Copies of this chain bind each other. A is one copy, B any other.
Amino acid sequence: MTSNRPEAPLRKLMGPGPLDIHPRVYQALTSPVIGHLDPAYLKTLDRISESLRTVFNTQNRITHAAPGTGTSGMEACVANLIEPGDPVLVCVHGYFGDRIRQMTERQEADVTVLEGEWGEPTDPQRIESALKERPYKVIALVHAETSTGVLQPMDRIADLAKAHNAMILLDAVTSLGGIALKPDEWGVDAAYSCSQKCIGAPPGLAPVTFSERALEAASHRKHPIRSWYLDITLLDKYWGSQRVYHHTSSSTLNYGLLEALLLIEEEGLQNRHARHLRNHEALVAGIEAMGLQMLVKPEYRLPTLNTVRIPEGIDDLKIRGYLLKSFNLEIGGGLGALAGKVWRVGLMGYSSSAENVLFFLSALSRALTVQGYKTDLAAGLDAAMSLLDD
């Protein structure tokens, strides 16, 4: 009998995610499957919450992994906080800000969009002007825009939100575990991420954190939330001390997530952030020394997701196809307005390593050479390595 099983190749994952995961995380995935109400498993969920609070840098009681991918985390935040008719300000300067906009519109909210340049953050000045016009219940924005590689400075926006008593809904998909977050200081009421980027676990779970104010708002809605699956008042009854059955939590994914979180604890969060920054700086130094350019200005660059401009005349798909075929190397293409214009190179979690920086520079240089585009690889590796040795 032939099972006709498709190939499951071993890639080097350096796109926007998923990324390569640590062998200990693979091992944890084979922990025995266990019941979602087993006392021993509930301790695991509590341990995950405790560790996620550290990584999120929050005191929020409701800090857990929602049972779906990062997009389910986005939907949990949007659908719980936002009711039909609510005035919401959505900052869009990339694909994921636009996804928040779409979700917010589906909630039949009264949505105002601040459209910005893809590759720039949202200017706090524009948020200030909007807030002067009228009150908003929620300001929704993206801390780390996975589509552009832009880091959104938060301090000024946090002050504005506080001054105008607006809630903040934050996308931390590409920052959690790789870049410092200060949700409590910023006054963030709902934030979400995913398991497969800087956290270093497989995809399938969405770390989320909600303030008490968010839970209060969700508990006193005028229009009940349509989603039963992502209703945080129901999820809280399972995650919290009541332990009421809601869904069959995937012990497999949660054991993997816990192992990834334990690796973060062992490394230390600040060391981890420093590692992400160092490898990013080495990659940028290499890219620039090779004569290529980054999309984002230095002050707004994400250390976790690097957007490299595709040189004039170079075919995106040919390069990525070559990298996949010749080196089993996955990098990301551009989304939306940036399709064909940038490559997205992830250095996140276990994947943020000197080895990956050097491998990527070499492989990309080779791919460009094959396409007749000459880069100075020696200079690139030299520049990168000068930042990688301790």
Contact = CB atoms under 8 A, between A and B. Distances in A.
Interface of A: 1, 3-11, 13, 15, 17-21, 26-27, 29-36, 38, 40, 43-44, 46-47, 67-72, 74-75, 79, 99, 102-103, 106-108, 194, 196, 202-204, 224-230, 245-253, 255-256, 258, 262, 265-266, 324, 330, 335
Nearest to A23: B30
Contact of A8 (B19, B26, B34, B72): B34
A228 B103 contact: yes
A18 B40 contact: no
A36 B8 contact: no
A17 B247 CA distance: 11
A24 to B, nearest CB: 10
What is the copy number of this chain in the assembly? Answer: 2
4 closest pairs, A vs B, by CB?
Answer: A204-B250, A202-B252, A6-B43, A203-B248
Contacts of A103: 228
A33 B253 CA distance: 13
A47 B251 CA distance: 25
A238 B266 CA distance: 37
Contacts of A47: 4-6
Contacts of A13: 33-35
A333 to B, nearest CB: 9
Contacts of A229: 68, 71-72, 74-75, 230
A7 B266 contact: no
Nearest to A19: B33
Contact of A9 (B7, B20, B40, B202): B40
Contacts of A36: 18, 203
Tell me which of A3, A40, A103 has the highest count of chain B C-beta atoms within 10 A of its own C-beta: A3
A265 B3 contact: yes
A226 B228 contact: no
Given A43-B7, A70-B248, A204-B250, A107 B30 contact: no
A19 B33 CA distance: 8
A209 B273 CA distance: 43
Given A7-B40, A70-B248, A102-B228, 15 more contacts: A6-B43, A6-B44, A11-B32, A13-B33, A17-B248, A27-B30, A33-B196, A33-B203, A68-B247, A69-B249, A70-B247, A79-B226, A204-B250, A204-B253, A252-B253
A34 to B, nearest CB: 6
A46 B6 CA distance: 9
B72 A69 contact: no
A117 to B, nearest CB: 22
A74 B247 CA distance: 11
Contact of A68 (B27, B40, B67): B67
23 contacts: A3-B265, A4-B47, A11-B38, A13-B34, A20-B33, A29-B29, A29-B252, A38-B330, A70-B248, A75-B228, A75-B229, A79-B227, A102-B228, A106-B224, A106-B225, A202-B251, A202-B253, A203-B251, A203-B252, A204-B250, A226-B226, A245-B335, A250-B253
